[in-house]
Chains A and B, each alone.
Chain A
Amino acid sequence: MNIIRKKTWQINENEVTPKELFEKRRNFIKLGAASIISSGAVMQALAKEDFPKITLDFIKDKNINNLKLNTFEQITSHNNFYEFTTKQSAVKDIAHTLNTDNWKVTIDGLVENPMEVDLDDLVKMFTLEERIYRFRCVEGWSMVVPWNGFSLSSLVKKVKPLSNAKYIRFETLVDENSFPDQKRGRFGVINYPYIEGLRIDEAMNELSFLATGLYGDIMPKQNGAPIRLVVPWKYGFKSIKSIVKISFVEHEPMNTWQKENPREYGFYANVNPQVDHPRWSQNKERVLGSFLKQKTLMFNGYENEVASLYSGMDLKKYF
């Protein structure tokens, strides 16, 4: 008998509300409420809730932990993307300047198969999946996002790192025409390009993911189009957006926030309710759309999958 062992982050198919039904239910509730207070015109407007059409083919995530998805609206209107602005709610309105046409990704450094490849060709090399992940920002807010993309490990295997490649360094696009804050030069909020990094074993973990879409459609610009990293057990700033370069290197790369403020941000940035940020507690989190807070979980709830990566490490020191 062939027994398929479920990953802990997967749930049974029958526990998942199909997206279409989920949307209808949301609209139904909204319409119910609206009918009490308003006219037909308002109801019509509400009925046209802006969910994207599902345009991608992918293997569905079974959502074994029964995570409650944040709405498309919430996920796409609350973004930390300093290349545009520090105002989270304003990114969506100005992100249209990001030019993703003919996007190329360079993979270089200590690999057998370096390449410079069109994004479309890169995506075609892999099987698209859906991953429903918790996303926890270092600032204390969180959400649940249904990402689409492929596992980072599948890309690593394809390019075949050399034995001395110990880390992967990621880099975001630099383009003044795409990103207004990059035009400001020294008056920009942070130094560009935005850099992030992972240890190779972290990158090979089954959770590490390169996302090219969410909610079944291509990645919205404000969420880091056309391709971004997602490492759900780390604070959100590790999940670098709009990637143009992936380099395999020997030494630990200096990531952007560590460089900006080494007292407050480290290389690892693992979600850890026991290790406070110097300015605020990390013990709880504000789920987007809610007045109530919830407890933050060790490694953002992915302890079983990733704790072994850090056995023997002092997580207060390597924060």
Chain B
Amino acid sequence: MKRFFIYVLALLPLVYLLVRLFILDDVNDPIKYIYTITGASATVIIFFSIIISMIKNRINLMKYRKEIGLLGFFYTLLHLLNFVILDAELDFDFVIKETLDKPFIYLGMFAFIIILFMAITSTKMLYRKYNKYHKFVYLSLILITIHWIMAQKAISILQFIYILSILVIGYYKLLQQIVKNNRA
């Protein structure tokens, strides 16, 4: 049942995106809209995946952590495919040139590589070997946040609130780690 809810919740943004794009047909700037929805969904899901261990005493979702992470990867992949297929129109020279040229894009690309690595090494066998590197998720989250801020022309007060909540989560996560280390 929990799993069913997780999937429904996580796939809701995708369904919403598809309905807006193809049924309501009321999106003026489709490529940008796909960036926004897939990017925001990936960010929220991946952020949520690091909170799971924090809240396990209240709601235990540890069993689904891997799947939740993979759902985050799924949106990250859609986000990248939007860049390569629709935005760059499969012009790979352009993709490479932009990636090397624009900080905004190479930070995002770097974050993607980290998340891709985690997705690949999420199988039982590989996870045993590589799980210590999964701490890189924190680096990817920092990169994602910078990438997202850089995409804005100006930061509105709502976006500041979002950034603030990210910082609060980061702070608690750090606190938790310190407590854990002291116990050990």
Contacts and interface: CB of A to CB of B under 8 A. Distances in A.
A276 B94 CA distance: 13
B153 interface: yes
A86 interface: yes
A288 B28 CA distance: 5
B156 A86 contact: yes
Contacts of B103: 279
A187 B29 CA distance: 28
B155 A286 contact: no
B157 interface: yes
A278 B98 CA distance: 11
A288 B38 CA distance: 20
Contact of A280 (B102, B152, B157): B102
Given A280-B104, A293-B87, A288 B156 contact: no
A139 B35 CA distance: 14
In this complex, the member of A281, A288, A292 whose beta carbon has the largest number of chain B beta carbons within 10 angstroms is A281
B89 A187 contact: no
Contacts of A74: 28
B19 to A, nearest CB: 14
Interface string A185-218: 0010110000000000000000000000000000
Given A78-B29, A288-B29, A289-B28, A279 B150 contact: yes
Interface string A267-289: 00000000010111100001011
Nearest to A280: B102
A281 B102 CA distance: 9
Contacts of B157: 184, 187, 189
A27 interface: no
A82 B150 CA distance: 18
Interface residues of B, number: 23
A260 B102 CA distance: 20
A289 B94 CA distance: 23
A189 B28 contact: no
Interface residues of A, number: 28
Contacts of B152: 86
Contacts of B104: 279-280
A286 B32 contact: yes
A88 interface: yes
A141 B154 contact: no
B30 A189 contact: no
Interface in A286-315: 286, 288-293
B31 interface: yes
- Most chain B CB within 10 A, of A82, A189, A288, A290, is at A189
Interface string B121-160: 0000000000000000000000000000011111111000
A86 B31 CA distance: 18
Contact of B155 (A189, A278, A279, A289): A189
A86 B151 CA distance: 13
A34 B31 CA distance: 25
Contacts of A291: 30-31, 86
Nearest to B101: A276
Contacts of A88: 28-29
A85 interface: yes
A178 interface: no
A77 B28 contact: yes
Interface string B17-47: 0000000001011111000000000000000
Contacts of B94: 281
Nearest to A75: B28
A289 B31 CA distance: 10
Contacts of A280: 98, 102, 104
Nearest to A290: B30
Interface string A14-30: 00000000000000000
A139 B87 CA distance: 13
A189 B98 contact: no
A89 B32 CA distance: 12
A141 B102 contact: no
Interface of B: 26, 28-32, 86-87, 89, 94, 98, 101-104, 150-157
24 contacts: A77-B26, A78-B28, A78-B29, A85-B156, A86-B152, A86-B153, A86-B156, A88-B29, A89-B28, A140-B32, A141-B29, A141-B32, A184-B157, A187-B157, A280-B98, A280-B102, A281-B98, A281-B102, A286-B29, A286-B31, A286-B32, A288-B28, A291-B86, A293-B31
Q: Which 5 A-B pairs have the closest CB atoms?
A: A78-B28, A279-B104, A288-B28, A189-B154, A86-B156
Given A86-B156, A292-B89, 8 more contacts: A77-B28, A82-B154, A86-B154, A139-B32, A189-B156, A260-B154, A279-B103, A279-B104
